[in-house]
Amino acid sequence: MRTIMLIDMDYFFAACEEIKRPELKKRPTVVGADPKMGRGRGVVMTCNYIARKYGIRSGMPISAAYRLKPDAEFLPLDYSYYEKKSAEVMSIIRGYSAKMEQVSIDEAFIDASGNIADSSGAMEYAKKIKKSVREKAGLPCSIGIGPSRLIAKMACEDAKPDGIRLVDHGDEKAFISGMPVGRLYGIGRKSEERLAGMGYDTVGKLANANIMELMDAFGSFGVEMHKYANGIDESEVVENYEVKSIGRERTFESDTDDREEILRAILELSGEVAAEAAKLGVSFKTITVKMRYSDFSEHMKGLSIRPSSSEAALGGTAKMLYTANVEKGRKLRKIGVRVSGLSDYKSQKRLSAYLSSE
Ligand SMILES: [Mg+2]
């Protein structure tokens, strides 16, 4: 019998800040862009549970968070510290299973099938993991347990904060069928609205939908969502050492079409990305520039070059991609530089690329 666990750190960046300054545990703490007295741009990356009481959420504009609680602690991101804590946590988790897949800076699946006999064993095992993450890394996490990655992921959302939720073999469908369809893994807001329009507002209703109808509306994704709605997910936990891309983005203080300012940002971002690649010991082949315009529409342009680790090659190509593709007369809200097609990966533990943007 398969037993998959998802270990997901709670309010990770803010929890890391609480280690540095324990007094933050008693204060609403927000990690993200500089609020600049409510005029700042960019978003909340993470906040602690006290901040959530005031309605602050990750992903919300930092200016909105500021309006909700102007005297909260607003902190900038300290990437290198979070990477260090992430590496600590991941090496603790890795000790509990031969099969671990890190999916973001603060989340990992393990396949614990070989480590436990039954569901009470699974519960005990998860408690041990949680305790050692808490004691060794000083950080809270939640754990979802189920027969598949899908169910482990959804159980983990239920477990938050600081909890463990186990869904037994055979109980998958009962666990998810009453949920609103938007809570099903992979269903975004658009799909959710479309499904609701077709009469499928709960996972249970979607599970009984006609596959052909879903295929007509969503293509092969329709087949996948139907499987998920029925609690079926056979995908394996895959040990991943490989960093797939490295990227950095910047939101401008105000929307701009000032070529000098934009080129300067591109060069700075290229420098940061090249430094990250050097730290990881990788060269890159594909360079992509992302332009987000003031109306939030987004254009990406990429180009492959001979594998390189040169900051000059990266910066030059990124500048060229911008110049050749930017739409004249439109202002940019945000610019991003990303490299992929990485090779010569040296250090297996550094997965800092997951810390991509903002
Ligand atoms: Mg998390």
Question: pLDDT tens-digit profile of 309-327?
Answer: 899 999 999 999 999 999 9
The pLDDT score that the predictor gives to residue 347 is 36
> In this structure, what token pair is assigned to residue 113?
């099938």
Cβ(197)–Cβ(150) below 8 Å: no
The pLDDT score that the predictor gives to residue 265 is 97
Domains of the chain as residue ranges with CATH:
1-169 (3.30.70.270), 173-229 (1.10.150.20), 245-354 (3.30.1490.100)
How far is the centre of ligand 1, averaged over its atoms, from the C-alpha of 253 (Å)?
A: 28
Q: What parts of the chain have a pLDDT lower than 50?
A: 345-358
The pLDDT score that the predictor gives to residue 358 is 24
Single out the residue of 227, 206, 240, 93 nearest to residue 150, CA to CA.
227
Q: Which CA distances in Å does 83 have to 13, 35, 269?
A: 10, 24, 19
- Sheet containing 29-32: order of strands: 44-47, 29-32, 73-75
> What's this model's pTM, rounded to 2 decimal places?
0.69
DSSP 97-127: -S-EEEEETTEEEEE-GGG-SSHHHHHHHHH
DSSP 189-248: HHHHHHHHHTT--BHHHHHTS-HHHHHHHHTHHHHHHHHHHTT---PPP-------EEEE
The pLDDT score that the predictor gives to residue 295 is 86
How far is the centre of ligand 1, averaged over its atoms, from the C-alpha of 282 (Å)?
A: 27
How far is the centre of ligand 1, averaged over its atoms, from the C-alpha of 108 (Å)?
A: 10
Catalytic residues: 107
The pLDDT score that the predictor gives to residue 241 is 55
Question: pLDDT tens-digit profile of 113-136?
Answer: 988 989 899 999 999 999 999 999
The pLDDT score that the predictor gives to residue 239 is 75
The pLDDT score that the predictor gives to residue 233 is 93
Cβ(28)–Cβ(56) below 8 Å: yes
